[in-house]
C-alpha cells in the first residue's frame, strides 16, 4: 500500500510540474502567432491538442480493456478500467470541444460550425455518453459488463473516423498535428502539454479505479453482513 501511495504522490507531483512547464512553454517559448491565425488565441492550440489526445487515449484504453474483458474470462478489473477510462474520455471530449470553440470564435467568427471534424467529435461524444447510459440501465453486473464491453469495442470505430475527418473531407479544421509542419519551437511547446495531460489521465484513471474497488469492497461487506 505504501508503494502505491508513493507512486500516486509521484504522479501527482510530476503532473503539476509538467502543467507548469507546459504553461511556460506555451506562453514564453512558443513563437508569437500571426494575426491571420488568431494572434495569441492560437496558444490555445498547445492545450487543445493535449486535451484531444487524452480523450482519444482514454477511449482507446476503454476499447482495449473491453477486449481483455471478453478474452480473459470476463475479469472484473478489466470492466472497471473500461468504465473508468470512458468517463475520463467523455470529460476530455467535452473539454476538447470547449477549448476548440474558444479558438474558433475569433478565428472563424463563430463558436460552432458543422465542420466534419467538429461534427464527428460531437457524434463520438454522444456515442460514449450512450455507453454510460447503457451501463446504468442493466442491473446484473456480469451482463452489464459484457454488453458494455461489446459496445466499447464497436464504438471505438468513431475515434479514427474523427481523427481522419480532416483528411477525408473538406474541412476548416487544421490538419492533424503530426502532418501540420510545426516549427521546432512549436514542437517544443506542444510536447510538454501532451506529457502533462497524459500524466493527468493516469492520475485520474488510478483514482477512479481505486474508488470503484472501494465500492466493490463495501458492497461485499454489506452482503456478508446481510447473510450473517
Give the Cβ contact number of residue 19 at 10 Å. 19
Q: Are 57 and 198 in contact (CB under 8 A)?
A: yes
pLDDT of residue 16: 96
Is 112 part of any domain?
yes
pLDDT of residue 2: 43
Which residues does 118 contact at the CB level (< 8 Å), separation at least 6?
Answer: 97, 100, 112, 173
Is 40 part of any domain?
no
The larger pLDDT score, comparing residue 47 to residue 168, is at 47
Q: Are 196 and 15 in contact (CB under 8 A)?
A: yes
Is 16 part of any domain?
no
Lowest mean pLDDT among 24-33, 44-53, 134-143, 178-187: 178-187
The larger pLDDT score, comparing residue 204 to residue 182, is at 204
Residue 158 has pLDDT above 60, yes or no: yes
Is 64 part of any domain?
yes
Is 24 part of any domain?
no
Reading the block at residue 104, the C-alpha cell is 474558433
Domain, as residue range, for 102: 45-227
Is 84 part of any domain?
yes
Is 165 part of any domain?
yes
Its pTM stands at: 0.85
Is 15 part of any domain?
no
Give tens-digit pLDDT for 67-119.
999 998 778 899 999 999 999 999 999 999 998 888 877 777 778 788 888 88
pLDDT of residue 180: 54
Which residues does 64 contact at the CB level (< 8 Å), separation at least 6?
Answer: none
Q: Give how many domains the chain has, as a whole number.
A: 1
Amino acid at each position: 500500500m505504501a508503494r502505491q501511495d508513493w507512486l500516486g504522490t509521484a504522479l501527482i507531483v510530476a503532473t503539476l510540474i509538467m502543467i507548469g512547464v507546459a504553461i511556460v512553454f506555451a506562453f514564453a517559448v512558443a513563437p508569437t502567432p500571426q494575426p491571420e491565425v488568431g494572434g495569441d488565441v492560437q496558444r490555445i492550440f498547445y492545450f487543445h491538442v493535449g486535451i484531444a489526445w487524452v480523450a482519444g487515449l482514454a477511449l482507446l484504453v476503454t476499447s482495449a480493456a473491453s477486449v481483455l474483458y471478453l478474452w480473459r474470462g470476463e475479469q472484473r478489473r478489466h470492466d472497471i478500467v473500461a468504465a473508468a477510462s470512458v468517463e475520463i474520455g467523455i470529460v476530455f471530449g467535452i473539454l476538447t470541444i470547449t477549448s476548440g470553440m474558444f479558438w474558433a470564435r475569433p478565428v472563424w467568427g463563430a463558436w460552432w460550425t458543422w465542420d466534419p471534424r467538429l461534427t464527428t467529435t460531437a457524434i463520438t461524444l454522444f456515442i460514449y455518453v450512450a455507453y454510460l447510459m447503457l451501463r446504468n440501465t442493466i442491473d446484473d453486473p456480469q451482463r452489464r459488463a459484457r454488453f458494455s464491453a461489446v459496445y466499447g469495442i464497436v464504438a471505438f470505430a468513431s475515434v479514427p473516423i474523427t481523427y481522419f475527418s480532416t483528411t477525408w473531407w473538406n474541412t476548416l479544421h487544421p490538419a492533424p498535428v503530426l502532418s501540420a509542419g510545426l516549427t521546432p519551437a512549436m514542437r517544443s511547446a506542444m510536447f510538454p502539454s501532451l506529457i502533462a495531460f497524459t500524466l493527468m489521465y493516469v492520475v485520474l484513471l488510478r483514482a477512479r479505479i481505486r474508488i470503484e474497488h472501494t465500492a466493490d469492497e463495501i458492497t461485499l461487506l454489506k452482503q456478508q453482513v446481510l447473510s450473517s
